[in-house]
Amino acid sequence: MKLTNRIHFRNLRGDIFGGITAAVIALPMALTFGVASGAGASAGLWGAIIIGFFAALFGGTPTLISEPTGPMTVVMTAVITSLTAANPENGLAMAFTVVMLAGVFQIIFGVLKLGKYVTLMPYTVVSGFMSGIGVILIILQTAPFLGQAPPGGGILGTVQNLPQLIANINPLETLLAGLTVAILFLCPRKLKKLLPPQLLALIVGTLIATFFLGNEQIRTIGEISVGLPSLQVPTFSATQLQVMLADGLVLGMLGCIDALLTSLVADSLTRTEHNSDKELIGQGVGNLVSGLFGGIAGAGATMGTVVNIQAGGRTALSGLTRALVLLVVVLGFSQYLTVIPSAVLAGIAFKVGINIVDWGFLKRAHKISIKAALIMYGVIALTVFVDLIVAVGVGVFVANILTIDRLSSHRAEKVKAITYDDEEIELKQEEKQLLERANGRVLLFYLSGPMIFGVAKAISRKHNLINDYQALVLDLTEVTILGVTSSLALENAIAEAVEKDRQVFLVGLQGQAEKRLRKMGVMEKVPSQNIIGDRTTALRQAVSYVEEHLVGFSG
């Protein structure tokens, strides 16, 4: 696999302009997510630079902009909180190691070519866990929105301490946060084209805090490291190793989903097709290097990607340009970022949380399907109050079980066990006459389409309904896929017929179904002359057989 993204200079102007525009969007978001995660503004900025650069260089979606995102920040916040609580001295270093592990997992997923499977997830589950992440982000911003430090304890800690947070509200910081949210919601469309609302809110909030509230106790993001980041040595703890691996897997999986869903958005806008596996490798390299240099985890960012494409970006050069512009800002102008109020960043993060919630589907899910709505609400609850991986696992399991049950019921209708003419099966005139001649002594067992494991029950049930016959004709001509469980059900039906000295005819065996039955040894139980390619011929032989063995038949 060629790892580097294809870069050319035929769209140089569009790529540079797209990269610069995406950098303008990225700056406030990187600061916001860095502070929100607990790793600090520097970690957010370096995460945006490093992930954006390496994901663009090695990824499989030329226009994708990668950086810290809301969903990744939520998980990153939980990782930092849990590890620093368990090991205050090395907790943050261990959190950066988790980012490296997430990158390693993503590279493994890409090498194993699992990209096409990552987004094969029911929309109810995707919607549920994204909405749950949005709710988490909103709740986590409650304390800084009210002008206070987070109380600790994550979601439950914030909810439990909500009365105290409200009682100790800092009116000025809350006013700043509210003003930020108002700007983000009410920014005119014409102004949005000139200046991103996030950057506008950042500038306005900082200017108000600096010139009008300068003497008041307004918390700011504080010092940002001007130099290049120092190398973070991977740090492990024997007692926390299992937790770190699990966190790395969750972070990596979420990053894969986040990035590939954004890649689909990029495809729809550019009318191109991304390389999923290559993209996972690019995302993995980006997160691995980000963790090595003290940056938080990231993924493909929808907002940055859309802005990049709309501004003219078409190749990975736009992503590289964006990363270089951010690097210049961090190295040359970071001293001017220290006065940004924490409340402004809380307001931006609060709005991000609102945007992540899938309001459109929440409003109409119950109208589409009650079961789908219950799955979505269940995933939201599990995401917020239990764990992301549990939420996704349970949601996918329940959704797949319901889907399999629905498909099985549909496929079961394609299993027909008949002894006389059946209008649901298109029979030739001669075949109808042959069944009439047999007078119930020939059982035609007709299957069509994919026989998944849920159909096995229907095969057994239909076969058991008719016990009194002398010849069994199994018509598999239209079977496209024969699952193991369905194969075993057919084997049982054949074995039972053979034990009762009934003649068995196999019709139309071909492709995967033939290979499956041959490997299982089922065809050895049927005389070679009874393995026939044509149903009419099989019925002729079956009728001839039963007419020669009338004695003892109770029909």
The domain locations on the chain are: 12-155+168-401, 413-548
The sign of the torsion formed by the CA atoms of 309, 311, 313, 317 equals negative
| Predicted pLDDT of residue 463 | 64
The C-alpha atoms of residue 260 and residue 276 are separated, in whole angstroms, by 7
**Which has the closest alpha carbon to 26: 8, 50, 6, 9?**
50
Residue 460 has pLDDT above 80, yes or no: no
Q: Which residue has the higher pLDDT, 193 or 536?
A: 536
Average pLDDT (62-87) is 92
Residue 4 has pLDDT above 60, yes or no: no
The C-alpha atoms of residue 232 and residue 238 are separated, in whole angstroms, by 19
For residue 263, name the pLDDT band (cuts at 50, 70, 90): very high
pLDDT tens digits, one per residue of 278-315: 999 999 999 999 999 999 999 999 889 998 998 889 99
pLDDT tens digits, one per residue of 161-217: 999 999 999 999 999 999 999 999 998 988 887 788 888 998 999 999 988 886 567
Residue 552 has pLDDT above 60, yes or no: no
pLDDT tens digits, one per residue of 348-391: 999 988 988 989 889 888 888 898 899 999 999 998 888 777 88
All residues at 6 or more sequence positions from 184 whose CB lies less than 8 Å from its CB, including other chains:
197, 198, 201, 347, 348, 351
Average pLDDT (119-126) is 81
Average pLDDT (59-79) is 93
Average pLDDT (246-273) is 90
CATH of domain 413-548: 3.30.750.24
Residue 553 has pLDDT above 50, yes or no: no
Average pLDDT (121-130) is 85
All residues at 6 or more sequence positions from 496 whose CB lies less than 8 Å from its CB, including other chains:
463
| Predicted pLDDT of residue 548 | 84
For residue 411, name the pLDDT band (cuts at 50, 70, 90): low
Residue 300 zone, left/alpha/beta (φ > 0; ψ -120 to 50; rest): beta
| Predicted pLDDT of residue 46 | 95
| Predicted pLDDT of residue 387 | 78
Under 8 Å between Cβ of 88 and 280: no
The C-alpha atoms of residue 441 and residue 501 are separated, in whole angstroms, by 13
For residue 554, name the pLDDT band (cuts at 50, 70, 90): very low
| Predicted pLDDT of residue 1 | 43
Residue 551 has pLDDT above 70, yes or no: no
Residue 55 has pLDDT above 90, yes or no: yes
Question: Strand, coil or helix: what is 58?
Answer: helix
| Predicted pLDDT of residue 226 | 66
Element (H, E) at 448: strand 442-451
Average pLDDT (479-498) is 84
| Predicted pLDDT of residue 423 | 57
326-347 as b/e: b if 16+ CB within 10 A: bbebbeeebeebeebbbbbbbb
| Predicted pLDDT of residue 339 | 87
The sign of the torsion formed by the CA atoms of 107, 315, 327, 344 equals negative
For residue 555, name the pLDDT band (cuts at 50, 70, 90): very low
Neighbouring C-beta atoms of residue 269, cutoff 10 Å: 14
For residue 123, name the pLDDT band (cuts at 50, 70, 90): confident
For residue 44, name the pLDDT band (cuts at 50, 70, 90): very high
Under 8 Å between Cβ of 52 and 286: yes
- Of the chain, the percentage scoring pLDDT greater than 70 comes to 91
| DSSP letter, residue 442 | E
For residue 230, name the pLDDT band (cuts at 50, 70, 90): confident
